[in-house]
A and B are shown apart, each in its own frame.
Chain A
Amino acid sequence: MLIRAVLHRIATGLVTLVVVSVLIFLGTSVLPGDVASIILGQMATPESLAALRSTLGLDQPAYVRYFLWLGDLLSGDLGVSKAGAGAGTGGTSISEMIAPRLINTVQLAGAVALIAVPLSLGLGLAAATYPGTRLDRSITLSTLGLVSVPEFLVATALVLVIAVYLGWLPATAYVSGTETGMALLKTLALPTLTLVIVASSQIIRMTRASVLNVMSSPYIEMAVLKGLPRRRIVLHHALPNAVGPIVNVIALNLAYLISGVVIVETIFAYPGLAKLMVDAVQTRDLPLVQACAMIFCSAYILLVFIADLASILSNPRLRYPQ
């Protein structure tokens, strides 16, 4: 039963991935004007267009191109970018452009996850353990405010206060790749802080809500009537039942970080993958947009998959069938 549930989940994950790749491909490829004409721009002659089209394989029907693209993608070849491309040449390899950017983004996201997850679990559980107290009310109110404001407000306010008025940290986060130690930490500090605030507020709220939801079940009242202390009730009786929803919330919010990352990398001029993608969208560099979108969506689907797996594994009904 358990194995079947896991296998089923893996299968749907893979199907979703394929559907998403089709959507991304359709969104960018079935259009008037193809990559070749975008690459060659004004100076295109019918001959050079045709030549570039056949090098890029654009003269093939859409479904053939999709499978070629997918095959390249699976073998790690992300195609060529418009950047640096001229008549007859293929342009820069996307894999090479993406690699250093991806490392930067993973660095940032990793730092955020390491801080945000324990922090928000702690605060969420604290609020749920003592609902209605001043602690709970201040946590609920400030997180309600924070989830409903745009990420760039958090970022600009932090820059104004911490970088400009207090002068503690640099206002931009341009990394050249040579920084180490303290310098790197300082550069990363503000973007990380912004994302931690944005991601935590949602996780705190949902952790509190899921635990409180469980706390209204009859078996919790039973635990109270057995004379158990409140902390034990929350941690030992409520938490195991809230694991599924909480892991889901964490995964969804880490995935939701993706949009936060896009904004934050732009504000702080942080050379990550998201900034690369924003620039690619502005220059209409379709192959690069496709590649970046595929990476972000895969990460998102993977996170959601892990969360579902955790909630399947935390369910005793599936672990121990009747």
Chain B
Amino acid sequence: MPALLEIDNLVIEAAGGGASPAPVINGVSLQLDAGEVLALIGESGSGKTTLALSTLGYAKPGLEFRAGEVRLNGDDILAMPADEKRRLRGQRVSYLAQSAAAAFNPALRIGAQVTEASVLHGQLSQTEADRRATDLYRALGLPDPDHLGRRYPHQVSGGQLQRLMAAMALCGKPDLLVLDEPTTALDVTTQIEVLKAFKDVIRQEGAAALYVTHDLSIVAQIADRIVVLYAGEVEEYGTVDDILNRPQHRYTRQLIGAVRPPPDSTLRPESLEETRQDVPALEVKDLTAGYGRKHASGHTVKVLRDVHVAVGQGRSLGVIGESGCGKSTLARVISGLLPAMQGDVLLKGQPLKPSLRQRERRQLQKIQFVFQMADNALNPHQRVDQLLGRPLEFYFGLSGEEKRQRITELLHMVELPAEFSERYPEELSGGQKQRVNLARALAASPEILLCDEVISALDTIIGASIIQLLKRLREQTDVSFVFISHDLSAIASFADDIAVLYAGLVVEQGPANRVLAPPYHPYTRLLIASVPELSQGWLERTLEMRETQASIDRAVEITDRGCPFYRRCPLAIAGTCNQEAPPLRNLGHGHSITCHRSEAEL
């Protein structure tokens, strides 16, 4: 009996032919049996999405099939006429896109989109399809399954929409499900529940699945076998156990090596608190900030509430939280881009003026900002030497040979060759742009470096190399870092101190080894539990925890009264936590938790 899906020597190239560069997919072969989940793993540009789409007989505009076969139950998909391909899609093979928010048509009701394909293909009547959709909503753990179909996409949350897309894909009972990075765009806490829903429904429906992702820890939870794709070729192919525990190829090993270890307090040496100076390099005191009019009451949204954090000389402070918790706002307030409503930013004990314009050039020079998206942070019309040269001119009046020499030094510091000074940003790769972005901040010879999600847009391996670079800079220089990220394992591997931010409130902070060890704030525990681990069975284990149970289907909400985490907290005390602001509990060694519960309870 043939396998459900067989791909034979598939070659996909840029359309047009001629003197074409390397093919996007270069002679890939693989097999998938019924009921099996095969993970397709690779970094951006490895061709994994292109390969996945070929199982629907579809090539993105600009690409074309050049050679090879894709067979589903023995039928060659690529040889099918257009009409037959159309009948195949949505009926025998269906596709789940990375961003459900973009893949749902905003102008049509959800139910109509979920059932459309199976009704149009003549598989089900509209009534049958509606009933099947409702069953799927229930199976996927969606709220109010009977009326969900009447709603529009903008009326449900991102995590729910992602699960609704699974319903859309499964409605026609396909033989093969293609999932393209379906949880990448979600927050870690949401990712768990969506992943679990996918896993259960795939098992329940008995469909085979092709799961495309860049994240090995996800693969470990859901897949039976793994294909590692590199530059359009299969690098390694085997069971999950084989690949994770006995990787053969260099690239696979590198990939596994780049997976950051789960945050664990024992990995970090006890930091020497005695060495702390009296005056921190940077201190933020009782800071409240937000958007909207400053004095008109009621119209303001307070994104940060009474935040108090400090960074010691030469140390690094990690700021962690989900999206919408105020992390970037904190960086913008420190830099002066967003003047604070209340509170102070102190540089070596000296209070800074809230707004950029009032600060002195010397003060500005000492705090440098490294923006999240290097693509957007580097002006595409300036060459690298202009980008790096400007701060040198501006702060230190350098010019000519002196300036050129310093630019070369800076490029060397971020491990780029000196010739790069002639290039424009669009001639650099993502990681190189981020290095230039970093070099520009270093050009000012700062005392504080604000790094806002500097690795979140990068591939795992490249992100890991940027962290390596930052670690080296921290060792070689006396710069203090504020490292903002939503990725707890990245923070754990870099930061000396950690501040956990939830809905604008610092719920826990202290030395990394203290924050990452009990007692935990319930939110910290949730974050730690949500970081995917590179081991099979982690998903089930973590879902049994009360923290993950309690937070399912709840988003970050900014509240004015009580504890903002109240609605997601397994330890919430009704009547207290939703009414009174939680007290700050000092646990010694610079470790503090903001919670109504006592140290023993936590």
Contacts and interface: CB of A to CB of B under 8 A. Distances in A.
Interface in A298-322: 314, 316-317, 320, 322
A232 interface: yes
Given A226-B116, A227-B91, A322 B86 contact: no
A317 B87 contact: no
A204 B244 CA distance: 57
Nearest to B118: A226
Interface in B85-109: 85-91, 94-95, 97, 99, 102-108
Interface in A204-258: 217-219, 221-229, 232, 236-237, 240-241
B154 A226 contact: no
B254 to A, nearest CB: 31
B97 A320 contact: no
B206 to A, nearest CB: 21
Contact of A226 (B85, B89, B99, B102): B89
B120 interface: yes
A219 B99 CA distance: 10
B65 interface: no
Given A218-B97, A218-B99, A223 B105 contact: yes
Given A227-B117, A237-B105, A317 B86 contact: no
Contacts of B97: 218, 221-222
Contacts of B121: 227
Given A227-B117, A232-B120, A222 B89 contact: no
A259 to B, nearest CB: 34
A228 B112 CA distance: 13
B89 A317 contact: no
B251 interface: no
B155 A320 contact: yes
Given A224-B58, A229-B86, A219 B103 contact: yes
Contacts of B526: none
A316 B152 contact: yes
B154 A227 contact: no
* Highest count of chain B CB atoms <10 Å: which of A221, A226, A228, A229: A226
B56 interface: yes
Nearest to A218: B102
Interface residues of A, number: 22
Contact of B117 (A218, A228, A316, A317): A228
B89 A225 contact: yes
Interface string B107-139: 110000000110011000000000000000000
B154 A228 contact: no
Contacts of A316: 106-107, 152, 154
A217 B105 CA distance: 9
B232 to A, nearest CB: 21
A228 B120 contact: yes
Contacts of A322: 154-155
Contacts of B116: 226, 228
* Highest count of chain B CB atoms <10 Å: which of A222, A227, A240, A316: A227
Chain A interface mostly: helix
A316 B117 CA distance: 22
B171 to A, nearest CB: 10
B588 to A, nearest CB: 45
Given A316-B152, A317-B154, A322-B154, A227 B99 contact: no
Given A227-B90, A227-B121, A222 B154 contact: no
A217 B102 contact: yes
Nearest to A229: B86
Contacts of B91: 227
A230 to B, nearest CB: 9
Given A219-B102, A316-B154, A320-B155, A226 B107 contact: no
Contact of A240 (B58, B88, B108, B154): B108
Interface in B258-297: none
B105 A226 contact: no
B90 A225 contact: yes
Interface in A129-175: none
Contacts of B104: 219, 222
Nearest to A321: B155
B118 to A, nearest CB: 9
* Highest count of chain B CB atoms <10 Å: which of A222, A229, A236, A317: A222
Nearest to A242: B107
Contacts of B85: 227
Contacts of A314: 107
Contacts of A222: 95, 97, 103-105
B107 A227 contact: no
A227 B88 contact: yes
Contacts of A225: 53, 56, 58, 89-90, 94-95
A245 B383 CA distance: 39
A234 B13 CA distance: 28
Nearest to A236: B108
B476 to A, nearest CB: 44
Interface in B504-529: none
A241 B106 contact: yes
Contacts of A227: 85-91, 117, 120-121
B106 A317 contact: yes
Nearest to A314: B107
B346 to A, nearest CB: 41
Nearest to A232: B120
A226 B117 contact: yes
Interface in B61-94: 85-91, 94
Nearest to B58: A225
* Highest count of chain B CB atoms <10 Å: which of A224, A314, A316: A316
Nearest to A317: B154
Contacts of A320: 151-152, 154-155
Contact of B90 (A219, A226, A232, A237): A226
* Highest count of chain B CB atoms <10 Å: which of A225, A236, A314, A322: A225
Nearest to B112: A236
Interface string B315-332: 000000000000000000
A218 B105 CA distance: 9
A300 to B, nearest CB: 28
Contacts of B120: 227-228, 232
B557 to A, nearest CB: 14
A237 B155 CA distance: 19
Contacts of A226: 89-90, 94-95, 116-117, 168
Nearest to A216: B61
Interface string A181-202: 0000000000000000000000
Nearest to A225: B95
Interface in B196-232: none
A227 B85 CA distance: 7
Contacts of B88: 227
Interface in B236-258: none
Contacts of B90: 225-228
11 contacts: A219-B103, A222-B105, A227-B91, A228-B116, A232-B120, A240-B108, A314-B107, A316-B107, A317-B106, A317-B154, A320-B152
Given A219-B106, A225-B90, A240-B107, 8 more contacts: A219-B102, A221-B97, A222-B97, A225-B53, A236-B108, A237-B108, A314-B107, A320-B154
Instruction: Pick the 3 closest A-B CB pairs, nearest first.
Output: A227-B89, A240-B107, A218-B102
